[in-house]
Structure 1
Amino acid sequence: MKQIIASSSAPGAIGPYSQAVRAGNSLYISGQIPIDPATGEFAGNDIVTQTRQSLKNIGEILKAAGMDYGDVVKTTVLLQSIGDFAEMNREYAKFFETDCPARAAFEVGALPKGALVEIEAVAYKE
């Protein structure tokens, strides 16, 4: 079974994709850039603020699916600059404190709208 998950408390998709798709017990959350859904603009211009907003957006989508951060099993963090890794990691750790998900993080050539970070996630709940 495939179910589209959407939250008005997270930015809407800016292309032909869904915020998230539930397939069975798994939830696949599309990459979230740091757009504040209240303003439609980036939450800030620094990696800490942008990481926080990207993860808040993921949290809102998880909530819409009846899940939370504890259900996340894998994330992928895309960075405009790998030099931002340490600061991103400190902020990321505030959202995943125990039983952390598996993760990949790497630098990319560019991100949508010039974001400093984009984070996607996979969650699982029985």
Structure 2
Amino acid sequence: MSEVIRTDSAPRAVGSYPHARRVGNLLFLSGIGPRDARDNSIPGNVLDAAGTLVSYDIVAQCHSVFANVKAVLTASGANWADLVDVTVYLTDMANDFKAYNAVWADYFPDAATAPCRTTLGITALPTPIAIELKCLAVLPPVA
């Protein structure tokens, strides 16, 4: 048995999938990006008159993606301490990793209690975002 989690506090999925799924005491979050749940905008993106991406602010996107992950965790009855593994997708590893790593340290200052993490440099994501997180959490068993 599994429980599907959806929340209006996180951006809508760009496909047919839930924000998260709980199976036993495991919580699997779908890939979560930095889009704003209220209006689907992407914090830090600068577009030209034609709507083409000109630049972006990776720090703004990092803070937004963490807020979105937290919203899904909260909707699932979970919190930061329940995260055990995070896969990070960056579209510009060379330029964005250092800034991302600094923001990560703000949210997880103690490496001993931080979740495991893998960071991958990729060529693109399905919307004009620079970062996406895929998370796994372990929750107490359902009574």
CA offsets 1:70-114 (integer angstroms, 9 cap, x no match)? 110000000001121010011122222230001100100101212
**Matching residue of 2:98:** 86
Unaligned regions of 5+ residues in structure 1, if any? none
For residue 132 of structure 2, the aligned residue among 105, 118, 122 is 118
Q: CA RMSD in A?
A: 0.9
Bigger Rg, structure 1 or 2: 2
Provide the TM-score with structure 1 as the length reference.
0.95
Q: What does 1:1-126 align with in structure 2 at a 5 Å threshold? A: 1-44=1-44, 45-83=56-94, 84-98=96-110, 99-126=113-140
> What secondary structure is seen at the aligned counterpart in 2 of 1:57?
helix
CA offsets per residue over residues 22-43 of structure 1, 9 Å max, x none?
A: 0101110111111011221101
**TM-score, normalised via structure 2 length:** 0.85
Extract structure 1 runs of 4+ deviating beyond 2 A: none
Q: Percent identity?
A: 34
Number of residue equivalences: 126
Alignment gaps of 5+ in structure 2: 45-55
Structure with greater strand share of residues: 1
